[in-house]
């Protein structure tokens, strides 16, 4: 193990130490997958966004484990997951998610996906309804054309080309409503969180996996007939100030497919990170409503 790899594993370990979860490595459809698990109750699977990791759910995991069995994987090629033998196209990613559910869930779970994770979750729900009980899409890709604001697009491209500290700070300002407020809320966790994300962004294999997944799964618009084929209860949670996937996309999907929409004020494209309590209230309201019907 190189010194750099050891150091970044220590950073990840520091962040995980504060979470009520255990971590294991599972081989799923040709992907050595890092999976966080914790809590008891009905299972809920959380899928993160592009270039991120399971750690991006860290602000809602402690609450969710009090009511659910929580399963949070690093997406293929992201975080501590490594692609061994997988093409990372739609069928391969669907197999990966199916095997994850089979190996970690004692019953069909609630599936929650954010951004790229939302596109994966929606595609899965359109073909594998029997494997899940409900679906929640958070600022999800795939529901409309990906047309971010010019400033968001510029910040994203600049960061992808040169993932420097400064470029990341500038890009985060496009993702978040109040970056300074988030830094204050996260306290001592912010610096290791930032360091881990930057290391992953600078890792060629992670960048390649992210770009492939976005090209194959995230950016292409999911056909309307596939979304209409989702038969499990489905809801949307959206940051009001999302500059990447505008709120109008969520409103259109809500109207067309009859999916309840929960809008989180003072949040950009990641309400679970910026406004965890408001996000949890929306998620629990939807879960409670479905459980009473």
As for how many domains the chain has, the answer is 1
pLDDT number for residue 86: 72
Q: Tokens representing 66?
A: 């009090």
Q: Which sign, positive or negative, has the C-alpha torsion 252, 262, 260, 118? A: positive
Per-residue pLDDT of the chain (293 residues; tens, 9 = 90+): 565 778 999 999 999 999 999 999 999 999 999 999 999 999 999 999 999 999 999 999 999 999 999 999 999 999 999 999 878 999 999 999 999 999 999 999 999 999 999 999 999 999 876 789 999 999 999 999 999 999 999 999 999 999 999 999 999 999 999 999 999 999 999 999 999 999 999 999 999 999 999 999 999 999 999 999 999 999 999 999 999 999 999 999 999 999 999 999 999 999 999 999 999 999 999 998 655 44
Cα distances (angstroms) measured from residue 113 to each of 82, 181, 244: 20, 24, 16
Rg (CA), the chain: 17
What is the reported pTM?
0.96
Find all residues with CB under 8 Å of 205, minimum gap 6, and list them: 77, 82, 83
Contact indicator for 257, 227 with CB cutoff of 8 Å: yes
Tell me the CATH number at 187. Answer: 3.40.50.1820
Q: Residue 52's domain spans which residues?
A: 3-291
Let me know: does 210 contact 236? Beta carbons within 8 Å: no
- Residue 70's alpha-carbon distances to 13, 16, 140, 276, in angstroms, are 18, 14, 20, 16
**CA 88 to CA 65: how far, in whole Å?**
30
How far are the Cα atoms of 35, 96, 146, 157, 273 from residue 84, in angstroms, in the given order?
A: 16, 12, 29, 28, 30
The single residue listed with the structure tokens 């040169």 is 162
Q: What does the pLDDT read at residue 127? A: 85
DSSP secondary structure letters along 66-90: TTSEEEEEPPTTSTT-EESS---SH
């Amino acid at each position: 193990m190189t010194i750099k790899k050891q150091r970044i594993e220590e950073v990840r370990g520091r962040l995980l130490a504060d979470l009520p979860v255990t971590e294991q490595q599972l081989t799923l459809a040709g992907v050595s997958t890092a999976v966080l698990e914790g809590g008891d109750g009905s299972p809920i699977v959380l899928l993160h966004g592009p270039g991120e990791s399971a750690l991006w759910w860290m602000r809602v995991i402690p609450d969710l484990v009090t009511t659910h069995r929580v399963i949070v994987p690093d997406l293929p090629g992201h975080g501590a997951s490594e692609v061994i033998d997988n093409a990372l196209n739609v069928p391969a990613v669907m197999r990966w998610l199916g095997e994850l559910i089979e190996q970690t869930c004692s019953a069909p779970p609630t599936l929650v996906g954010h951004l790229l994770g939302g596109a994966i979750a929606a595609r899965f729900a359109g073909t594998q309804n029997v494997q899940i009980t409900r679906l929640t899409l958070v600022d999800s890709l795939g529901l409309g054309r990906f047309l971010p604001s010019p400033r968001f697009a510029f910040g994203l491209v600049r960061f992808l080309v040169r993932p420097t500290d400064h470029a990341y700070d500038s890009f985060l300002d496009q993702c978040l409503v109040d970056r300074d407020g988030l830094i204050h809320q996260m306290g001592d966790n912010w610096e290791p969180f930032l360091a881990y994300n930057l290391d992953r962004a600078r890792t060629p294999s992670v960048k390649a996996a992210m770009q492939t997944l976005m090209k194959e799964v995230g950016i292409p618009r999911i056909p309307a007939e596939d979304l209409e084929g989702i038969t499990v209860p489905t809801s949307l949670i959206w940051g009001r100030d999302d500059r990447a996937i505008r709120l109008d996309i969520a409103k259109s999907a809500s109207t067309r497919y009859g999916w309840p929409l929960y809008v989180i004020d003072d949040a950009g494209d990641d309400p679970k990170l910026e406004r965890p309590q408001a996000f949890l209230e929306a998620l629990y309201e939807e879960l409670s409503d479905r459980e009473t019907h």
